[in-house]
Every structure is written in structure tokens, then in C-alpha cells.
Amino acid sequence: MSNIPTPHIEAKKEDIARIVLMPGDPLRAKKIAETYLEDIKLVNSVRNMFMYTGNYKNIKVTIAGSGMGCPSIGIYSYELFKFYDVDYIIRVGSAGSYSEKINVYDIFNVKEAFGESNYAKIAANIDSNIIQSGEKLFNKIEEVAKKNNIEIHSGRCHSSDVFYRYEDSMKFAKENNLDVVEMESYALFANAIATNKQAACLLTVSDSFITKEVTTSEERQNNFLQMIELALETSLELK
């Protein structure tokens, strides 16, 4: 299997680093790689799900798009963990805030993901709608943030399967003690457990259910850099 691509990733095994940062948007992966990495190489373009590998302060890092939703990140993260010997995946994405204490552009380190599907049961035989992030990786992010004076929040993330809900989102959030919402962490954490690897999820708040603030796609691509820098500095600690 060493040099044979999966159905969704054409990279050779040696082209993928053991540490992967995973934004949802493949164009954001391109932006991150071009901004922070040296000697970058495009290692995957199947379905335009761009993945780049390069060097960050002399460590090898891969930036890989995941697409939207649990099924999409479920495929890519499983293949990276299982077939490319990736040890750590840090999802870097955007989130909506359910809390008046968590504002637009704040950074959130997901401690546990609340899922709404049976993904974890089918993929990892986990019979729970709440899955913890990798303890080692979560704690390392907290440690690096403190060392670099980066203020972050942590708690429970709603990993939703539905972007447009018919029911009241805030009512659902309060009933389930949810702090923020995105769409991928539940599957990522399940796959990490299934393969005995480590996964974390860092999110920058892009909109608020409280204040009704909303950022544009261009703002999200260009202004989430502190979160990316935190993820990359954490990567240095994983050598």
C-alpha cells in the first residue's frame, strides 16, 4: 500500500506528513500552505480537494482540505490515519457561537463534539453522541496557547448534520449544553479513536446566534490566521 493512492487521495505515502492541519475549504488549505510553509508541494488534487505538504520551521506538515460535513471529513481523515500513517490531525475551521461569552473571531478549542448522526456507531462502534477530542492534543493546544498569550475558549461543540434547521437552534443548544456549532468534528474524533490516533479541532467564530454578526467567505479565508498559527506552533511541540 506504500505508494498506492486511496480512491480519494493520489499522494504517495511519503508525501503526507504525520501532522496534518485540516481546513474544510480546499482554497483555504492553499492559502495556509502559501502563507506559512516553505518548499510546498501539491500532493493531492483529486476532486479539487487540495492537499499541500511543506516545511514549517523545519518540521514537515501537510495542509489538507476536508470538505463539508461528517461524511466528507470522515473519508479523508480515515484514509490519512489508516493508510498514510498520520498521527495527528488538527481540524482548523469556522463555527457559529451559541454563547454570549464567545464572540466573532474568538478561538475555540473543542473538548467534546456532540453529533446528531449514527456515524460514530457505524464507523467506530461508538454508541454515544458525545465524543472527546484527543486528550494529548487538546492539552497541548491549551499549553501552547497559554505560552503564547493567545486567549481561547473550550467546551462542547455541536457537530451538526444540518445547516438550515427547521427548529429553534438556540433552544436545541441550551438543551444540550452546546457552546458553538460546526459540521465535522464528530466524525474526525470518531476516526481518531477507531485508528488509535489523536485529533483536535480548533475553530474561529465566524458568526453569532446571539449578536447576529456574520463574516464573509473572504474574511474567513484571510482573517483566521491566529488560529492557524496556534495549530502550527502546536505542531512544533509534537516532534
Contact 87, 16 (CB under 8 A): no
Say which of 15, 87, 106, 207 is annotated catalytic. Answer: 207
pTM of the model: 0.96
Q: Is 85 a catalytic residue?
A: no
pLDDT over threshold 70, residue 213: yes
Element (H, E) at 174: helix 169-175
Section 189-208 average pLDDT = 98
pLDDT tens, residue by residue, 83-130: 999 999 999 999 999 999 999 999 999 999 999 999 999 999 999 999
Predicted pLDDT at 216: 82
Task: Tell me how many helices (H) and strands (E) the chain has.
Answer: 8, 10
R_g of the chain computed on alpha carbons: 17
The CATH architecture annotation of domain 13-237 reads 3-Layer(aba) Sandwich (3.40)
